[in-house]
A and B are shown apart, each in its own frame.
Chain A
Amino acid sequence: MADIADVLAEKVRAAAAAKTPLAVQGTNSRHFLGRAVESETLSIAEHAGIIDYEPRELVITARAGTPLAEIEAALDAAGQMLAFEPPRFSAESTLGGAIASGLSGPRRAYAGAVRDFVLGCRVVNGKGEILKFGGQVMKNVAGYDVSRLMTGAYGTLGVLLDVSLKVLPKPAASLTLVREYPVDQALRRMRELAGKPWPVDASCHLDGRLYLRLSGSPEAVETAKRRLGGEVLAGDELFWQHLRDWQLPMFNERPFWRLSLPAAAPMLPLDGEWLIEWGGAQRWLKTEQEIDVVRQTVADAGGHATLIGDQAGEDVFHPLPPALLALHRQLKQAFDPANILNPGRLYPEL
C-alpha cells in the first residue's frame, strides 16, 4: 500500500539503458491474454492503494496495483460502481490489469467501456519519465487524450501508476428476465430493444435463451418487467458475474474467440458454440475452424476477432492494415524508444 513510482521509474530507466525488455505485471491474473512476453518481470503489485475517493465527485483515483475487489468494495459501500464491470480473473486482479487489457463486462453496450470512464492517469513511459495526463474532472480537452490511449494498450506504451475513473451510482433496483429464443430472433430482439428507451443494461443469448437485465428505479424496472414479459431469473447476480469473469461453462476450455462485431450483424456462418452479448456487439465462439477462416469471416462482417488462450507465439489480435500498423509503430517509438515495455505482447512489431 505504497507509492513506489520512483522505484518503478528507476527500474525502467535502468532497463532502457541496458535495453532489457520488461514484462509489466500486477498479479499476473491476465497472463493468458495477449502474446507471451519473454523477459524480466517488472512488478507493480506493491504500488497499491486508493488515493482519493469522494462519492460526491463521482471519481475514484487508485494506484495500478490496487485489487479491483478493494476498489469495488469501497464504491459499493457508497452505493456506487464501476459501470463498465471489469472482468476479474482472480480475487487479486488489479486495476492496472483492467485498464491495460481494456476489457469491459456485460454493461458495456449500455453504459460504456473502460476507456469511456478513464479520466486521467500517471504513467512511466519507456524512458523512465513519470508523466501525468488528464485529471479527475469529467471534461478535459487539454493535451492529447493519453489516458484513453493507455487503455487497452497492454502496457506497451507506459507503465500505469495511478488511474482516475468516473464512477456511477448503482441502480436502485435490478432483475433479469429469461425467455426461450432461437438465435436469429434473439439478435433481432436485442436490436429492437436497443432502439427504444427500455431500462435494459445487459443482454445475453446462450443455449437458446435470451437473458435481459433491467435496472433503474423500482417502478421503472417493474413496469418494464410487465411489458417485456419472461421469467425472472433467480440468483441473476451470479449469472452476470460469471459472464463478466468468463466463468460460464463455455469459457472453461481455451482457446476460444472473442468477436467484436457491428451489433446488427447477422449470425456468422461459423460452426461452434456461441454466446452473444452486448446487444449483438460482442460474441464468443468456441470452434474447431481454422484461425484464418474465423478472422476472414469476422472481418467480412465488419468486426475483429481475438484469440483467448495461452497462445505463445500465435497472432492473438486481429492483424492491422499496413498503414495503421506503421502508425502504431511510430506511437510505440514515441513512448518507448528502446522498445522495452511488454514488447510483443500486443503485436510482434510493437
Chain B
Amino acid sequence: MNPSRHDLIRALQAFLPDEAILADEEALRPYECDGLSAFKQLPLLVAMPETVAQVQQVMRICHQFQVPVVARGAGTGLSAGALPHSGGVLLSLAKFNRILDIDVQACTARVQPGVRNLAISQAVVPYGLFYAPDPSSQVACSIGGNVAENSGGVHCLKYGLTVHNVLKLEVITAEGELLTIGSDALDSPGYDLLALIHGSEGMLGIVVEVTVKLLPLPEAVRVLLVAFDSVEKAGQAVGDIIAAGIVPAGLEMMDNPAIRAAEDFAHAGYPTDAAAILLCEIDGGLDEVASQVARVRGVLMQSDATEVRLAVEESDRQKLWKGRKSAFPAIGRLSPDYYCMDGTIPRKALPQVLHQISELSKEFNLPVANVFHAGDGNLHPLILYDAGKPGELHRAEQLGGRILELCVKVGGTITGEHGVGVEKLDQMCVQFAPLELAQFHAIKAAFDPEGLLNPGKAVPELHRCAELGAMHVHQGQLAHPELERF
C-alpha cells in the first residue's frame, strides 16, 4: 500500500464507518465497470457515505489530497461514465435511497440520488401522479444517474427528458461546497445551471438531492401495433403521424431481427414476418385519446401498413410493451455479447441511415438489430458479437464508431441519451470542432479548476482528437489541420 492511499483511508476513517470504505481488491471488483463492461478499471478505493455532510467531507478530503472522484449511482450507465479512476475514489451514492417528501399540491417529489427511477412513479401512484422519464433500465437505474446522463426513455417526444422534469438539485462541488441549483419555482435567477448540470456526467458536481416534477396520470392509454413490409414505409409512417399534428406519448420502431428476438423471448404477439413494426402509444383524457387514435388510424390507412392492431385492455398493452422493453435481453440471447449504440438523427434520414447500417453490418460481418425511439429519431442499433472470438469486440467497436459518425453526417448526434463517458470520446472529435471542445473544457474548469471530478470522461483532450485526425481522413480533409501532429 503506498503511503498516500494509506493516508487517504485514515482521513476518511475519521468520519466514515469502516464498512463504508472498501479497499480490498475483492470488495472493489464489483465496481470495476458500469453497464458497459468492455471498459474495466479498479478504483483506488470505494467510499459509501450516507449523509450529505459525509459526502462534503469526502470531497474536501479528496480535494486536499488532490485525488480524483468518480460518482456512481446504480452503475447501469452504458457509456462507461462511471468507470473508476485507477488513482481515484469511487463515490457510491447507493445509500442515498430515500424518498424524502412528496408534495401533492405542488406536484413534486424530493428524493435522494440513489432512489430508483421506477420507485418514484410507484410511490406517487396513490396520488394519481407519475414521474415521466422512463429509461428502459428504470427498474434499476437511479435518479442521480438520470440527471448525470439527462436520461430519456420511450415517452420523451411528449414528456421530455430528465432536464424537462427536474426543478431543483442539491449539488456538492469539487471543493465540498453545497449548492442549491434551481428552485421550487419554475425558474431561478441567473444562468440556467440546472440545465448545465443535466447530462454533465458527473464532471461538474455531485448531485445529492433531486426535486422532480410529477404529472397527473393520464385518464386513458392506448397502444397501436402497426406492421410494415419495409423499413422505409415504417419510417415514412412515423413522419406522417407527426405531420398530422399528433404527438404520441411513445413511438417505437423495431426491425425484423429485433421483432423475432423479442417475440421468441416475450411472446408479445408480434408479427414475426414483418420487416418492421411501430408501437404507437396515445395517452390523455378519454375523449382526447379516442379522437387521436381515430386520426392515427386514418393516417395509417394511407401508409401501406400490413396490419394495425389496437390494444385497449391494460393487459394487452402491457404485453405489447413487454416485447419492446425486453428487446435488449432478447437480442442478448441470440449472441454471446451485444453492443448497444445510441445515435440520434433527424427523422427524415431514418430510411437512409437504416440502409447504410445494414451495409456496414455486411462490411464488418457482424449482425445488427435495430430497436429505437422512432418518434424522436433516437436509434439503438445493437451489434451482435462474441467477445470470446479474437478481434470481434474490436470490430464491434469500430462498427459502432462508424454508425455514430454516420449519425453526425446526416445532421444528428453521437449520443441521444446514454452519454459520452469513455466510449464515445473519439466520436466527440467528429461532432465538435477544437474550439468547441475547448469551450467545454473552460466550462469544466469554471466548476472544477483542478479537474478532480470524473477526469477523462465526456470531453476528449484536444491532442486525442489531433491523433485521431491523423488516422482518419474525412472526405479528403484532415479533421483538425490547425493542430500540431504528434
Contact = CB atoms under 8 A, between A and B. Distances in A.
A320 B190 contact: yes
Interface residues of B, number: 94
A123 B152 CA distance: 26
B348 A56 contact: yes
Contacts of B415: 140-142
Contacts of A216: 284-285, 288
7 contacts: A56-B347, A137-B345, A140-B415, A142-B424, A143-B428, A191-B106, A199-B284
B180 to A, nearest CB: 8
Interface stretch (A69-77, A86-94, A331-339): A331-339
B157 interface: yes
Contacts of B198: 145
A102 B185 contact: no
B303 interface: no
B25 interface: no
A303 B442 CA distance: 30
Interface in A42-82: 54-59, 79-80
B215 to A, nearest CB: 8
A197 B459 contact: no
A334 B285 contact: no
Nearest to B431: A142
B475 interface: no
Interface of B: 103-107, 127-129, 149-150, 152, 156-157, 160-161, 163-164, 173, 177, 179-181, 183-193, 195-196, 198-200, 204, 216-219, 239, 242-243, 245-247, 284-288, 290-292, 344-348, 373, 375-378, 411-420, 424, 428, 431-433, 435-436, 439-440, 442-447, 458-459
Given A59-B346, A170-B245, A216-B284, 11 more contacts: A102-B192, A135-B412, A137-B378, A138-B157, A142-B415, A142-B432, A149-B191, A195-B107, A219-B288, A282-B186, A324-B190
A283 to B, nearest CB: 10
A145 B348 contact: no
Interface string A323-345: 11101101101110000000000
Contacts of A262: 106, 183-185
Given A145-B199, A263-B106, A140 B413 contact: yes
Contacts of B128: 195-196
B300 to A, nearest CB: 16
Nearest to A216: B288
Interface in A137-167: 137-146, 148-149, 151-153, 157
Interface in A208-223: 216-220, 222-223
Given A58-B242, A141-B149, A262-B185, A219 B287 contact: yes
A167 to B, nearest CB: 11
Interface stretch (A22-30, A106-114, A239-247): A106-114
Given A138-B157, A144-B199, A220-B285, A328 B191 contact: yes
A318 interface: yes
B184 A302 contact: yes
Given A223-B285, A327-B446, A333-B446, A143 B459 contact: yes
A176 B104 CA distance: 26
A260 interface: yes
Contacts of A304: 183, 185, 188-189
A51 to B, nearest CB: 12
B195 A217 contact: no
A325 B417 CA distance: 30
Nearest to B432: A143
Contact of B190 (A143, A145, A347): A347
A138 B376 contact: yes
Nearest to B458: A143
Contacts of A218: 291
Contact of A334 (B107, B346, B417, B445): B445
B285 A57 contact: no
